[in-house]
Every structure is written in C-alpha cells, then in structure tokens.
A and B are shown apart, each in its own frame.
Chain A
Amino acid sequence: MKKLIFVLMITIFGATGFAQNKNAKATIEVDGVCGMCKDRIEKASIKTKGVKSASWDVKTHQLDLIYNEGKTDLAKIQQSIADSGHDTEDIKAKEEVYAKIDDCCKYRDENVVNDHKD
C-alpha cells in the first residue's frame, strides 16, 4: 500500500513537474505591412499543428500566440510563418518564398512600407 501511494505520488508529481502548458502564451515579432500580411501570418500560424489562436497587429508587428507546448514550439511556428513569406524574430523567409507574396505586402521594400504609413 505504501508503495502504491509512493508510486502514485511520483507519477502525479512527475506528471505535473513535466506537464507542458496546454495554453502557452507568447508574443513574437513578425514583419509585414498590411491586412493581407495579417491574413497570411495568422493563417500560417494557426495551420501549424498545436497553435490555438494567433493574432497579428499591423501597427506593432506583434504576433500574440496561444499554443499547446506538447504539440509544437516557437521554432516550428516561426518556421511555418517564414515558409509563408514573412520574417520572424529568429527565422528569415527564403528569397524565393518572399518573391511570391503580393506586391503590396513586400515589407522588405522601404517604398512599400512608406506607402502603408498614414
């Protein structure tokens, strides 16, 4: 009986000790300029398995994420965003992917960025 309690305690504490946050929150910076970028960034985030909610702010470039740590991590999410054509804090989008996004979304082009300023 004592053994059983001991085992149970180990499993419970062990589980909590290693439990991954199912609703982990993170805010990362993603580059983009407009509402179309917002669509693309949020879609790329949410299509990453494990991401529950994603909201990108056009003005601040901040992407608010809520995701299940057991299923994904920030690296994977950022990779998926970069694959859609947007630079993230840690991963830069490949030239050929960036080339494919709409002209109005070319956030690396200073002229386009200026066009979007009020």
Chain B
Amino acid sequence: MKKLFQLLFLLPAFLSAQETLKGVVLEANTENAEIPLGGANVYWLNTSVGTVTDFNGNFEIPYKKEFKKLVISFIGYQTDTLQINSIKFVKHSLKPTANLDEVTVRSRQKASSRSFLESQNVINVSSGELLKAACCNLAESFETNPSIDVNFADAVSGTRQIKMLGLSSPYILITTENVPSIRGASQAYGLSFIPGTWVESIQITKGAGSVVNGYESIAGQINAELQKPLTDDKIFVNAYGSGNGRFELNTHLNNKVSERWSTGLYIHGNLRETEFDKNGDTFLDAPLMNQINVMNRWQYVDQENGYVGFVNVRYMNDEKRNGQTFFNPNTDRGTTNVWGSEIKTQRFDASGKFGYVNPELPWRTTGVQVAYSHHDQESYFGLNDYNIQHTSLYANVLYNSIISDSRHKIKTGLSATYDGYEELVYSENFNRIENSIGAFFEYNFDNLGDLNFSAGIRADVHNRLGTFITPRLHVRYTPWEKSAFRLSAGRGKRSANIFAENQQFFASSRNLNILGSGGAIYGLDPEIAWNYGVSYLQGFNLFTRKADFIVDFYRTDFANQVVVDWENPQQINFYNLEGESYANNFQTEFNYNAFEHFDMRLAYKYYDVQTTYLDGKKQKPLTPNHRFFANASYETQFSDAGRNWKFDATFNYLGEQRFPSNEGYLKTIGLSEFSPSVSTLNAQITRVFSPNFEVYIGGENITNTKQDNPIIGNEDPFGSTFDSTYVYGPIFGSMYYAGLRYRIN
C-alpha cells in the first residue's frame, strides 16, 4: 500500500520530467542586464496549455511533440511567438512596447492629425509638430496649427494670447494632464509659464468638450500632456538663443528609481537682458525678462495590479520689465519722469493623480486627481498698480465602466473647486472666494462602425454662479469610407476675471469703469454661452498620395457676457451684455502628403465676431474677418547613422482688423478705421546629426513686417492719449534664432 502511494506521487513527477519545457523570460534592455520578468504569460499557440512565469522569470510548461509555437506575452511588452522543435532551455527577452512605439511614431504617424473615429473634433499635436516651431513655451506651440490663432505679442508684457473660434483664451478650457491649469490669475501670462520642451503632446478639442473637466469651456479645450519620467529621455538638454536677446535653457533628468517608481526633474530658465528699441519710440520693443521654472514629477506604475499614479511639484519665478528704455525701477517707479512697468510672478503648484484599472475587468477604471496652486503677481504699469493672489484647489473623482457591453461606456464622478482671489487694482481691493461642487455623467455609444456619440451632463452648485446644469453632446457619423461628420452642442458658464484677463489696458491712460451692481463677480453676472458646431472630414488619395479635407463651422452664442468695451478712447468699460453677442467661425483645411516626406497644410478661416456695445452692435475690435494659413514641411531620409535634415515653413495672412473707437478720433492718432492686412513668414531648418544630437536655426517674421507706431502717445506716456493696446501686427520685425537638443535615452 505504501509503495502504491509512493508510485502515485512519483507518477506526475515522472511525466513532467519527461515532457516539460523550461525557460526564463527577461526584459530586453540596452545594457544587456538580466532583468527577469515575473508574471509573463507563456502558452502553446492554439492550445489551452499555458503557465505564468514566477518571480524570477522562470517557467515550466508541459510539452508535446505537436506543440510547435510557444507564445510569450506580458502587458507593456511586445508579444513574441517562438518556434520550438525540441526540449531545450528557453531564454527569451521581451521588448517593452514603449520603445517600439517611439520608433513607429517617427516613421509613420503624422505630426498632427485628426481622428476619424472620436465623437469629438479632436486635433492631436505630437511632439514632432511641436518641434516645427522651436520657440519656446506653450503659447508659441500653436504657430503651426491653424485651429488656434496666436496673437501678436502685446506691447507691454511681450506675451502672446491665443484664440480659438474667434474667442480669446479665457473662453478656452486649458488643462495640463486634464487638470484645469491656465485660469484665474494665470489667464494672461500662464501659457508662457509652461516651457515648450515640457510638453509631450497637445490635444485640441473644438467645440463644447467633455463634461468631465468642468463647466468652464465655451469655445473648446486644449490639453497639454507633459513629459513623463518613464518615457522621456534620461537626459535632455535644449539651449536656445535668438537675435532679440532671448536665451533659454531646458534640462530634463529622468530616472527609474525602483521597479515601480520613476522620477523626472525638469528645469527651465530664460533670460533677456539686451534692450532693443529699433523703431525709436523710446519704448522697449520686447520686455527684459527672466524666469526660473522647476518641476519634479514622480510616476508610479504597477501593471500587474493595475495601479498608476503621478505626483508633481512645480515652482516658478518670472520677472518682466518694460517701458521706456531709460526707465530705472529704483528711482522712477511712482513718478512721472519716465514710464515703466514691472510684472513679477511667483507660482507654486502641487498635484497628484491616481488611477486604478481592474485587471479582471479592464473596462472598470477609477481615477482621482487633486491639484493645488498658489499664484502671486505683483505689478505696476506706469502709475497703475495691479496685484493679484490666487489660491486654487481642485479635486476630481472619476469612474469608468460599461453598461451591458463595451459598446456602451459610461463615465461618472464628482468634482470640487475652491478659488480664493485677493486683488489690488490701483488702490482698491477686490477680494472674493469661489467654490463649487458638482457631479457629472457621460454616456458614450459606439456601434463599432459608422456611429459614435457621447452625451454628457453635469450639475454644479457654485457659491457665485448658482446651481446649474451643463449639457454637452458630440456625435460622429461615417456614411462612407474615410469620412467623418461631426456635430456638437454644449453650454458653458464661467466667472470673468475682468482685470486679470485684460491687463493690457493698465498700460494706457484709460479709466476703468465697472457698469454694474448687484452681480456676484465684481458686481457683474456670470458669463453663459452655447456653442454649436458641425464638421466634415474626408480623407482621400490624390495622385496616389494621402490627402484630407476638412470643413468646420462653429457658432458661439452668448446668453450673458461681460462686455469689454474700449470703443471710447478714454475709457474701458465692463458691463453685462444687453442684446446679441456671437462668434461665427468657418474653417476649411487641406492636408496633403504631396510626395515622400513632404507634407503641406493649407487653411482658410472666416470669423464673424459681433457684440452689442453701449453704442450698438459692432465687429469685435482687432479680430480679422479673414485669415489664411500655409505650412510646408520636408524631411530627408534618415541615413544609417540616424542623420537627416528637416525643413519647415509657415505663412500667415491676417485681413484688415477694425480698430476700436470712431474714425474721427482714429485720424487724430494717425490711424484709419481698419488696420492694413498683415503677412508673416516663419521658417526653420533642423539638422539631426544622430538620434542624440540635433541643431536648428530659424527665422520668425522673415519678411520683416512691422507695425510702425505700436504705442499711441508714446511722446507723452502720462498724457491723455497714451495707449499701448492698438497692436495689430509684429512690433519687433524679423528675428533669427539657433538652438540645439542633446538627449541620452
């Protein structure tokens, strides 16, 4: 009996000893280090015979002669199939898919593309596109994208404002990694506080957008994904210098500290110390400035159990000085001797993000986001003081799942915000606190074919905006191949930070007036708008090469708006809209890959933006009706050593723009009713010497287009006609730059 038992015990051992294949699974890496992969799936192709590797990457799997193909797979790695002809110890390395993707992106994916499948009208801007215009921060990242208009730098701060659908950036929800970031106090200069090299990719959504990120978006959403410690280069250095005295240095250091934790340190500095007054109006053409910006990110990835997370901290200090060239802040501030301006900003951000994907039910995911920021701006413009402090808290909990099957997806969650503002305008204090709590639900249906739609709704309780509902709808329909018809509608609501958003008016002799009382924000009412859009995208082949054609029409209708009225040259008035205010935008775009490695993009845009002012309905000032855009880019074939050349050129045409105020007054300051049209040309050449090193040179505004007298009343800056807000074109003229990028993977 005892023997029988022993035999029974030994029997399986015998069997397995004879018919077992053993092996080890490792991670492929450049250092050829032996990193075992535990938890990898190993199975025979077309059978149900399989196993999982142990902690040291070892596996044992039953073997039969009929089994020929062994499949090894692991999440995050490329699946490999091995041919097995006899029982030999198998030692195999899996390549991480992240490495693979990078290669494919370089060769195949277009730098900027629109999805044929998404229900929202999303334009994806990859890092490749961002390199086409090398300088310098998020504001300037949109130069090669026709859906976003980058305004010319304003005469005092030198920063650039962006517009979408004819509406300025306060009407666009700008997020970094889906956390609303450029808002409140940072509305005016916030885009210049995000260095260009930190941005990994940008997603631009035209129209209402999703309810998940809040109720504030009206014209659209822009999301910037930042570099991630796990995928960014180990070491990255970018140095930039330009003929207008601007120098920038960017350094990224990324490190994998443990199996699950990676960290990245991102340091940015920029500087301009040289004074330029090429037009001889005694005012600086570009501000003197310096900025230090440091961010530290921690990334946590636990693929096995489905946990991912991020922790970020960022500190930034930015100083700008502008005004007359001989202005000395120590002796001239607060006097009428010389006109000068300084803007000093300090900002601290901390945020955390945590996600869980149920490994058993991959459609069930949970995410939590929390963000804190403190923004402190101290500034003066001549005799006008303006300070703002903004403390902000944001929290969002998101749950994703499906109803019945994966064609019906749902997103639901809660969000809460807190914003504390303390402002000093001239000598008057404006303090206010805003807080809100809300719940959202979004349903997405995808029939896996020609139809996809998402319908979202959110309800928020806000101490100043009241209790309100925000509905949003996006539909995509594909009636025939390579096409996408899109439809969107949605409502947005926000409080206008009238001073922070319109700081350029401090650099004028205008009197500020708020014509309203009893409203919840500066005595004014919240802004409410509806946005509707239709879009048609068609891909086709032209002379056997890929091309696509896009037509968009969007309309934004304001139910209430805080009208910024600067029609009277001595005043700037803020008041609640009485009557109509809308922005119509028609855009058509043509993309063509005319020959190997040559891409071109042409776009025409028509804007009709009208608002009812105190003296009637008028076209919005300094908004051209017609814009034309062209971009061409060419790359030579990569050599075996990884060398190539890249050429890019962008042309912009802006039609005439209406100046505020009446013809009679405009004549006295040397302007006519409309500005002349403006054309600019930018170009850049990049020489890639190896995958690690590249150098670029480029020119902005090569044709040297200039606005002759950007500052009205410059001869008497403390007089009644002084105004720096009549800027319709470039102040600086042509500018050339050069830079380099060095990276170690």
Report which A residues bind B (CB closer than 8 A).
23, 25, 27, 29, 39, 42-43, 46, 50-54, 57, 59-61, 66
Contact = CB atoms under 8 A, between A and B. Distances in A.
26 contacts: A23-B361, A25-B360, A27-B48, A29-B46, A39-B448, A42-B448, A46-B405, A46-B448, A52-B363, A52-B405, A52-B406, A53-B362, A53-B363, A53-B402, A53-B405, A54-B406, A57-B79, A59-B71, A59-B79, A59-B81, A60-B71, A60-B73, A60-B81, A61-B45, A61-B46, A66-B361
Given A27-B48, A57-B79, A52 B404 contact: yes
Contact of B79 (A50, A52, A53, A60): A60
Contacts of A66: 361
Contacts of B407: 46
B556 to A, nearest CB: 37
Contacts of B73: 60
B449 interface: yes
A54 B45 CA distance: 19
Interface in B38-94: 45-46, 48, 71, 73, 79, 81
A54 B363 CA distance: 11
A25 B360 CA distance: 9
Given A29-B46, A53-B362, A60-B71, A43 B449 contact: yes
B348 to A, nearest CB: 43
Contacts of A23: 360-361
A53 B357 CA distance: 15
Given A29-B46, A43-B449, A53 B406 contact: yes
A25 B361 CA distance: 10
Contacts of B45: 60-61
Contacts of B404: 52
A23 B364 CA distance: 12
Contacts of A25: 360
Contacts of B361: 23, 66
Interface in B13-52: 45-46, 48
A43 B73 CA distance: 24
Name the interface size band of chain B.
10 to 19
B180 to A, nearest CB: 32
Given A42-B448, A43-B448, A61-B45, 12 more contacts: A27-B48, A29-B46, A39-B448, A46-B406, A46-B407, A46-B448, A52-B402, A52-B404, A53-B405, A57-B79, A60-B81, A66-B361
Contacts of A52: 363, 402, 404-406
Nearest to A66: B361
B403 to A, nearest CB: 10
B318 to A, nearest CB: 48
Nearest to B80: A59
A54 B448 CA distance: 12
B170 to A, nearest CB: 41
A107 B30 CA distance: 37
B486 to A, nearest CB: 21
Interface string B403-441: 011110000000000000000000000000000000000
B71 to A, nearest CB: 5
The listed residue with most A CB atoms (<10 A of its CB), out of B405, B406, B448, is B405
Interface string B338-360: 00000000000000000000001
Contacts of B71: 59-60
A69 B121 CA distance: 38
A51 B408 CA distance: 12
Contacts of A54: 406
Nearest to B73: A60
A23 B358 CA distance: 12
Contacts of A60: 45, 71, 73, 79, 81
A66 B79 CA distance: 21
Nearest to A57: B79
A27 B81 CA distance: 17
A108 B402 CA distance: 35
A-B complex: 9 closest residue pairs judged by Cβ atoms: A53-B406, A52-B405, A43-B448, A60-B71, A29-B46, A46-B405, A51-B405, A23-B361, A53-B363
Contacts of B81: 59-60
Interface in B271-325: none
Contacts of A61: 45-46
A29 B45 CA distance: 9
B662 to A, nearest CB: 62
Contacts of A46: 405-407, 448
A24 to B, nearest CB: 11
A62 to B, nearest CB: 8
Interface in B438-481: 448-449
Interface in B386-413: 402, 404-407
Contacts of B406: 46, 52-54
A56 to B, nearest CB: 13
Interface string B362-387: 11000000000000000000000000
Contacts of A57: 79
A60 B80 CA distance: 9
A59 B360 CA distance: 23
Contacts of B448: 39, 42-43, 46
The listed residue with most B CB atoms (<10 A of its CB), out of A29, A54, A59, is A59
Nearest to A42: B448
Nearest to A89: B46
A35 to B, nearest CB: 13
A60 B407 CA distance: 24
A60 B73 CA distance: 10
Nearest to A71: B404
Contacts of B362: 53
B357 to A, nearest CB: 13
A57 B48 CA distance: 15
Contacts of A27: 48
A23 B405 CA distance: 11
A34 B81 CA distance: 17
Contacts of B46: 29, 61
B13 to A, nearest CB: 29
Nearest to A60: B71
Nearest to B406: A53
A21 to B, nearest CB: 11
A54 to B, nearest CB: 8
A104 to B, nearest CB: 15
A50 to B, nearest CB: 8
B84 to A, nearest CB: 15
A30 to B, nearest CB: 11
Nearest to A48: B405
A50 B79 CA distance: 29
A54 B46 CA distance: 17
Nearest to B360: A23
A60 B78 CA distance: 12
The listed residue with most A CB atoms (<10 A of its CB), out of B81, B362, B406, is B406
Nearest to B81: A59
A61 B360 CA distance: 21
Contacts of B79: 57, 59-60
A51 B81 CA distance: 28
A92 B426 CA distance: 82
A54 B402 CA distance: 13
A25 B363 CA distance: 14
A57 B79 CA distance: 10
B502 to A, nearest CB: 50
A31 B73 CA distance: 19
Nearest to A39: B448
